[in-house]
Chain A
């Protein structure tokens, strides 16, 4: 299913979301749970700040030397027997993958969770080529069935409650209705088991790529990731270039940080390290491994003032604590990545013209900065994008005039005092101009103001 970007309608999207009481209840419950579990998981980690510093420094080094690490990864992965493809944009990535699959006659595809595959809209492209693509992560399976996109980068169906899932399964799979999560999981598992065993190819993402060994690292919980990457004879992995780690020996810091930040787990149920395809004597593994490295604008981001967003390791902690995300859910953002990291990445990857309302989707409360395990300066990145929005002429003209006037007044006490007096005298007019949504929520200016009350 192809999905048009709706970031320009952010405000309209949020108004709809705010009226959806099931969505709001699901969001609140899930994000509260993740918040508590995250805090509990980090409580015993005594060296947390040093650990964050170390992980942040590793990510800084990756960005400072990204082309070198990518080249190194390509060389080591190739040495290990993988075929590595570099895709400059979404279309190229889709086409590379379609061709790999088509050339080998693959028609039944099982997929592990991959936000990069969402970014390039892979499924619709493969389906258009006559292939069957089945998402095997439980959350992804649910939203694929519903014809939706993920609303969270870790928990794709976070916006749904178990009753909605129960009705969906009953409706589509013809099973008796149940809203017991265990029963629902069993139903999905049974349906998916058949898909795994008959699949021609598996597609996965990757959490990290180790440049020195050419290994892909996948952190998963449901076992589907391991099935996708080892049961079919062909495995295609798609990941974006910034997922590099200099060395596999850098992994432990991230293994301590990522699961705790994401789901509040000390470690995920599965940690897969895949180095090349199956070799003689290996018990499992795909016979053929293709790795698609996606750029899609990242090299350009790397050269600009917002490069630090590429430090992100996709844990989702920033969205779990974001008051805006918690209230309106991921679909409101109108593209692949929601929440604080998403509003920044979306604006950069899709361009200000298609996404400028997103840069205002933050109160700058700083909750995201507080939890980011690799110290992505999200508030500063958001401020930078707001400056760019103004610079590039995407600000609302009325706002621009207002801000220019306010700027003049702020630099001149006489003008400022005059503005105060005028606002006070003409408050009923200001109320009409600003509307009840804004001025209606403020008291009338005081008469006299503080400056005329103090000596």
Chain B
């Protein structure tokens, strides 16, 4: 089965190991990921900051790069939500682009959605280690409604212990451009999240969105906490 891998601009630029791990995971389950070289960004930073023309340009580019019928898989709940929920809104006045947007939305899967529902990776007996807790990022949880899939994958890890964190779905304060516009609040929220994580006693915190994990990792650094922050793709790929 061939899928198109949307790395996302953040993973492409700052966290390529997340993209590489995604490729290894997909291959392990007999999936052939193809990385369209023309890909850039889904347009969410522009869209969320109010720059509609720029968001449309990015989205149109995405639709042309990710055309066809193959499933689209991305290791980000937030970018998947952008394509699935906001592309149709961006193109509501353009019937042909709207149809493409809707079709792209139907084809788009956040990584853990795909791993559980298509690849059945939670039944594969992947290995893990240590004690892991999970941050339920906002758009993944509330926009996409992906709540159980990451938990099913983490619970399936042999040799790892999963510990839930209190208020796991409370925002970490990343918020895309929010982290740049109101950094003081962003850091305060990340601190609150870091304290929740520390309280679990876990040695690793994971999640499905690199932006949030970046913000959490920074809070950990500031606080001098030695808890590993790892995206769920590399965490799962370690146990292959």
Chain A positions near chain B (C-beta within 8 angstroms): 11, 14-15, 18, 323-324, 327-328, 359-367, 369-370, 383, 385-391, 395, 399, 403-404, 406-413, 416, 420, 423, 434, 437-438, 441-443, 445-446, 448-451, 453-455
1/0 per residue B121-157: CB within 8 Å of A?
A: 0000000000000000011001100000000000000
Residues of B within 8 A of A11 (CB): 182, 184
Inter-chain pairs besides A361-B182, A365-B142, 17 sampled, C-beta below 8 Å = A324-B182, A359-B50, A363-B171, A364-B178, A365-B175, A366-B138, A366-B139, A383-B50, A403-B51, A410-B43, A413-B37, A420-B13, A438-B183, A442-B214, A443-B14, A451-B37, A453-B19
B189 at the interface (CB under 8 A from A): yes
Whole-angstrom distance between the Cβ of B189 and the nearest chain A Cβ:
5
9 nearest A-B pairs in the assembled complex, by CB-CB distance: A407-B54, A363-B175, A386-B50, A410-B58, A365-B171, A437-B183, A450-B16, A365-B138, A366-B142
Residues of B within 8 A of A442 (CB): 14, 214, 218
Residues of B within 8 A of A328 (CB): 185
Residues of A within 8 A of B48 (CB): 364, 383, 386
Residues of A within 8 A of B118 (CB): none
B106 at the interface (CB under 8 A from A): no
Residues of B within 8 A of A413 (CB): 37-40, 65
B204 at the interface (CB under 8 A from A): no
Number of interchain pairs (Cβ within 8 Å): 184
B70 at the interface (CB under 8 A from A): no
1/0 per residue B1-32: CB within 8 Å of A?
A: 00001010101111111011001000000000
Contact check, A403 vs B49: say whether CB atoms are below 8 A apart: yes
Whole-angstrom distance between the Cβ of A390 and the nearest chain B Cβ:
4
Contact check, B173 vs A363: say whether CB atoms are below 8 A apart: yes
1/0 per residue B178-191: CB within 8 Å of A?
A: 11111111111100
Residues of B within 8 A of A327 (CB): 185, 188-189, 192
Residues of A within 8 A of B9 (CB): 410, 416
27 A-B pairs (CB sep. < 8 Å)? A11-B184, A18-B184, A18-B188, A324-B185, A359-B50, A360-B177, A362-B178, A363-B178, A364-B48, A365-B138, A365-B170, A365-B171, A366-B143, A391-B50, A406-B54, A410-B41, A410-B61, A411-B61, A416-B41, A434-B180, A437-B180, A441-B187, A446-B14, A451-B39, A453-B19, A454-B5, A454-B35
Contact check, A446 vs B16: say whether CB atoms are below 8 A apart: yes
Residues of B within 8 A of A391 (CB): 50
Contact check, B16 vs A387: say whether CB atoms are below 8 A apart: no
- Partner of A441 from the list B5, B41, B65, B215 (CB cut-off 8 Å) is B215
Which of B14, B15, B60 has the most A CB atoms < 10 Å from its CB? B14
Q: How far is the CA of A448 from the CA of B16 in the complex (A)?
A: 8
Residues of B within 8 A of A437 (CB): 180, 183-184
B174 at the interface (CB under 8 A from A): yes
Residues of B within 8 A of A399 (CB): 49, 177, 181
Asked if A386 meets B49 with Cβ closer than 8 Å, knowing A449-B12, A449-B13, A453-B16, the reply is yes
Whole-angstrom distance between the Cβ of A221 and the nearest chain B Cβ:
27
Q: How far is the CA of A348 from the CA of B143 in the complex (A)?
A: 26
Contact check, B15 vs A446: say whether CB atoms are below 8 A apart: yes
Residues of A within 8 A of B186 (CB): 363
B53 at the interface (CB under 8 A from A): yes
Contact check, B138 vs A454: say whether CB atoms are below 8 A apart: no
Closest chain B residue, CB of each to CB of A32: B167
Q: How far is the CA of A364 from the CA of B82 in the complex (A)?
A: 12
